[in-house]
Structure 1
Amino acid sequence: MATGIPLSSECKHVFDQIWRLKQHRYAIFRIENERRIRVEWLGVREAGYEEFLADLCRAGPDQCRYAVYDYAYRQQYQGTTGTRLREKLFLMLWCPSQAQIKDKMLYSSTFAVLKQEFVGVGKCIQATELDDIHRDRVENELCWDRED
């Protein structure tokens, strides 16, 4: 059984709006008062990856966060010249190396709760440095792990 802070119905609702209803591109979550997880930012469906990164880092270089992102990319199939648009949902644990050890431990222990509750996530990413969340690196991870 997962330890950590339980996920609120608000977070589950927002996840459903992203995954099933396609109402938002992303959501960023934070732990509030070591007792509950709250939605901090929502990205409109038209938002780009750079906007996501700005919102993820908005709280400061030493603040941990969770994020769910519905990533769209073009996939080319071997032996063809055509591509098609694909989407893959990823869940991210952002624990910058400058964050306090207590925060890192709290966010890490609760990450398992999000992974369990957010059914439909195609990839989980844990990141500590800005290089870890650069678009090229994330896209490479998502495309490398595709199921088709």
Structure 2
Amino acid sequence: MASGVQVADEVVEEYKFIKKGKKYRYIVFHIKDEKKICIDSSGDRDACYQDYLDHLASLGPDECRYGLYDFEFEHACEGAADTKRSKLILMIWCPDTAKIKKKMLYSSSFDALKHSLEGIGKYIQATDMSEAAPECILEKIKSTARS
């Protein structure tokens, strides 16, 4: 079911910068006026995952967002030293405490965003901080990592 929410051009443009240029560590998107997915904020390359989580927490308990994060982690291939890998994750952040209408809008519009941003490594759904915790994300990434 299409929600009719459009993805703003800026979203796709800036996505190229995080994917190729490594301009940002993360970009947070929101749905503006129930019509368009727009950029809400972004974090520089030196931002860490905690900065991203702090931003989500600062929005309050009833705000939903999408977060694109360039997640770096150590990955050991068999018989090789640990190598730093990075994977782009796209998170839908819908706290349990958010209004049902808002959660439905974000859920139904997630596909539009997924289709606009090609080459995402992992999709994550989080309803609270424990689901968004770095070790939880890492586990999800590694469960599908190709060695």
What are the within-5 Å matches in structure 2 for residues 60-99 of structure 1?
60-80=60-80, 82-99=81-98
In the alignment, residue 6 of structure 1 is paired with which amino acid? Q
Name 1:116's counterpart in structure 2.
115
Residue 7 of structure 2 aligns to a residue whose secondary structure is coil
Name 1:5's counterpart in structure 2.
5
Shift of 1:65: 0.3
What is the CA RMSD across the aligned residues, in angstroms? 1.3
* Cα distance in 1 for residues equivalent to 2:22 and 2:36: 25
What are the within-5 Å matches in structure 2 for residues 34-45 of structure 1?
34-45=34-45
In the alignment, residue 45 of structure 2 is paired with which amino acid? R
Structure 2 regions of 5+ residues with no counterpart?
none
Name 1:27's counterpart in structure 2.
27
In the alignment, residue 102 of structure 2 is paired with which amino acid? D
Q: Name the TM-score, length of structure 2 as normaliser.
A: 0.95
Runs of 4+ in 1 over 4 A off after TM superposition: none
In the alignment, residue 25 of structure 2 is paired with which amino acid? R
Residue 20 of structure 1 aligns to a residue whose secondary structure is helix
In the alignment, residue 127 of structure 2 is paired with which amino acid? T
Residue 16 of structure 2 aligns to a residue whose secondary structure is helix
Shift of 1:144: 1.6
Shift of 1:2: 4.5
1:68-88 deviation per Cα after TM superposition (whole angstroms, max 9, x unaligned): 0010111112234x1111010
* Cα distance in 1 for residues equivalent to 2:4 and 2:49: 29
* Cα distance in 2 for residues equivalent to 1:60 and 1:126: 18
**Is contact 2:3–2:105 with CA below 8 Å preserved after alignment?**
no
* Cα distance in 1 for residues equivalent to 2:105 and 2:32: 11
**Is contact 1:30–1:65 with CA below 8 Å preserved after alignment?**
yes
1:75-110 deviation per Cα after TM superposition (whole angstroms, max 9, x unaligned): 112234x11110100100000000000000000000
Name 1:129's counterpart in structure 2.
128
Q: Percent identity?
A: 37
**Is contact 2:63–2:94 with CA below 8 Å preserved after alignment?**
yes
